[in-house]
Chain A
C-alpha cells in the first residue's frame, strides 16, 4: 500500500491552523469496521510518537487541538492552533496490510 502525503513541507504561523493530507493506494477500511490509518509526529532529534490511531482517535495524552479525519483512501490531520512544540515531521501509516507502510512525511515549521 502506497501512502502519499501532501504537502511535503508546511510553514505555519504560531496560533494559526494547519492541515495535512494523506492518501492511500488502497482502501484502509477493514471488514471489522475499523480504518487502519495512524498519524505520528517526529519532533527534531526524537523518536516518533503516536498522535492519532484508526484515523480519528487521539492517543492518550495528545492535546485536543489535533484532529484526525477521513475514510477509505483520503485522510486529514488538522491542528487547530499550531504551537511551538508541534514542529517536526508528521507521518501517516497504514496497518491494514503487511508490510505496514508510511507516507514520506510532512515537515511542519514556523514562518
Chain B
C-alpha cells in the first residue's frame, strides 16, 4: 500500500532555511506528481506546492514563491521541499501527498515546522 513518510521538521529561527523530505513507497513513484500541503496549528489546510511526475512542472502558492523550491529524486523515491527565508507564518505541519486522477489520494503523517526565535 502507499506509504509516505515526511522528515526534516523542527524548530528554526526566522530567516533561516530548512529542507523537508518525503520518502515514498508502495507505488510507482515516477508516474505520479507529488504535493506539499501545510496546516498551521489549530487551523485549516493550505496547498503549498506540486511537482509533476517528470519534474518538468513546479507550482507554488503565492506566499512561498521565491522562498520555497520543490524537487524529487526518483532513484530514492523521495520528494523534497527546500524552504528559505522562513517566517513565523510558515509554522505548520507539512504534509507530503500523492497526486492522482482523483486528486490528492494519499497523505503522509506530516512533519511539524516551528519558526521561532
Residues on A facing B (Cβ under 8 Å): 36, 38, 40, 42, 47-50, 53-54, 57, 59, 89, 91, 93, 95, 98-105
Q: Which of B79-112 contact A (CB under 8 A)?
A: 95, 102-105, 107-110
Residues on B facing A (Cβ under 8 Å): 37, 44-47, 50, 59-62, 95, 102-105, 107-110
Of B61, B62, B107, B108, most buried by chain A (CB within 10 Å of CB) is: B107
Cross-chain pairs A/B with CB under 8 angstroms, 21 sampled: A38-B104, A47-B95, A47-B107, A48-B37, A48-B95, A48-B104, A48-B107, A49-B107, A53-B102, A54-B103, A57-B102, A89-B44, A91-B45, A95-B103, A98-B50, A98-B59, A99-B47, A99-B61, A102-B44, A102-B45, A105-B44
Contacts of B44 in A (CB 8 A): 89, 91, 102-105
Distance between Cα atoms of A73 and B46 in the complex (Å): 20
Contacts of A49 in B (CB 8 A): 107
Residue of B nearest to A48 (CB): B107
Q: Which of A48, A59, A103 contacts B102 (CB 8 A)?
A: A59
A-B contact count (CB 8 A): 56
Chain A: interface secondary structure? strand
B23, chain A: closest CB distance, angstroms: 15
Distance between Cα atoms of A103 and B47 in the complex (Å): 11
Distance between Cα atoms of A104 and B42 in the complex (Å): 12
B45, chain A: closest CB distance, angstroms: 4
